[in-house]
Structures are given as structure tokens and as C-alpha cells.
Chain A
Amino acid sequence: NAGVTQTPKFQVLKTGQSMTLQCAQDMNHEYMSWYRQDPGMGLRLIHYSVGAGITDQGEVPNGYNVSRSTTEDFPLRLLSAAPSQTSVYFCASTDGTGLETQYFGPGTRLLVL
């Protein structure tokens, strides 16, 4: 199993540009989520999904969209990039919404100029 994969690994955007961060998992997990990680702060939840066709907002959803058309894929879209969105983005999946282990991808480092 590849686990959780993310692409790209690194991206530079100009303010106002849009892009999609890709996330895929091959563990047949229902629950997937997107986090951002900033220096000196804990991981913050952006959006999550409890199954195909179902998504919801986390703690910091503004400026981001998600969709979940399949169990495997959970892309994160930046609508109009801003310097405040410079961060490292992690996708995670788990086999439930309870106390199960979360499996993280390797991350996407995004720089918005």
C-alpha cells in the first residue's frame, strides 16, 4: 500500500492564482481531512470528509474548497491564493471518526508571493 499520497511536494504561486492540491489514499478509509501547519502553531483543520459526497468545514476553511467524489481522492482547491495561505498542507485519512489512528501524507509546501 502507498498509504496517503500528496502532490505536488512544493509549489510557488502568485497572489490571486488558483490551484488544486491533490490527495489520495489506498486504504479504503472513509474519513479524510486537510490540515495546515504553520510555525509555532498546532495543526489546524481546514476541511474534512466522512465519506464520498460528504464534506464539512473545519477550523480555518476560508479561501479553500474541497470535494469528495470517490473514497480514494480528496483534493483541496485554493480559489484565489493569498500570502496568508503560505504554509505546509497535510492530508490525512482514518478508518473512522472516533479514536482511530490518523495516517498522514508527506505534505505540500506552498509559498504564495
Chain B
Amino acid sequence: EDQVTQSPEALRLQEGESSSLNCSYTVSGLRGLFWYRQDPGKGPEFLFTLYSAGEEKEKERLKATLTKKESFLHITAPKPEDSATYLCAVQAGSNYQLIWGAGTKLIIKP
């Protein structure tokens, strides 16, 4: 069964303390892996799409990487405004429906 698992469920960091969020997946024929950010009371907002192992993408303090089994969202020197829930989703095979992870809630304390 296709599955996406995100860890940890929650992560509390001090401002400036770098860390990584994990998204592991078991699917057949990965077509793309997506990262979204979700602020409280709002809909998810697109961050990155990764298509193949070894690919990396960056945006401000965020960097997403992809291997054949997992993706990492690295956050460097985070600020309080980076606090949000980060969602991972994959699209695989001939099914264009996305499979979503439960998310990681990131809290950055000043």
C-alpha cells in the first residue's frame, strides 16, 4: 500500500537553531514529491516539487532534498515566522491523486 510518513510530529526549535524534517514514502513509481506549508486556520501553500533522487531545491531558509526512499526539508537559522505545519505529498504511478503525510508542526521560539 502506498504510504507517506512524516517525522517528527512536532518540532520545537530556538530561533537560529537549524534542523531537518523528514518525509519517508513507500510508493511504486514516484512521479513527484511535494512540500507545502500550512499556517493555522489557512489552506496549504506550495513550496517545492522534487522529481527524482538527488534533486535539491532551495527557497530562503528552506532546502528540500530527495532520495529514493525519503525527502528532507532542511531549515537553516529559522525565524519565528517559519513556524507552521509542513506537509509532504507524493504522486506515483498512473494515479494523479496525491498521497499526503500527516505533517510536521514546526515551532520556532524567539
* Residue positions of A touching B, CB distance < 8 A: 4, 40-45, 48, 58-59, 90, 92, 97-99, 101-107
Contacts and interface: CB of A to CB of B under 8 A. Distances in A.
Nearest to A9: B41
Contact of A104 (B31, B43, B51, B91): B43
B4 A42 contact: yes
Nearest to A101: B46
Contacts of A59: 97
Contact of B31 (A43, A92, A99, A102): A99
Given A42-B4, A42-B87, A102 B46 contact: yes
Given A40-B102, A42-B103, A99-B32, A104 B44 contact: yes
B49 A99 contact: yes
A90 B44 contact: yes
Interface in B25-83: 31-32, 41-46, 49, 51
Contacts of B41: 106-107
Contacts of B13: none
Interface residues of B, number: 23
Interface of B: 4, 9, 31-32, 41-46, 49, 51, 87, 89, 91, 96-103
Contact of A43 (B32, B87, B91): B87
A24 to B, nearest CB: 14
Contacts of B31: 98-99
A10 to B, nearest CB: 10
Contacts of A101: 46, 49
B97 A4 contact: no
A44 B99 CA distance: 8
8 contacts: A42-B100, A43-B44, A43-B87, A48-B97, A59-B97, A99-B32, A106-B42, A107-B43
Nearest to A6: B43
Nearest to A35: B100
A30 to B, nearest CB: 12
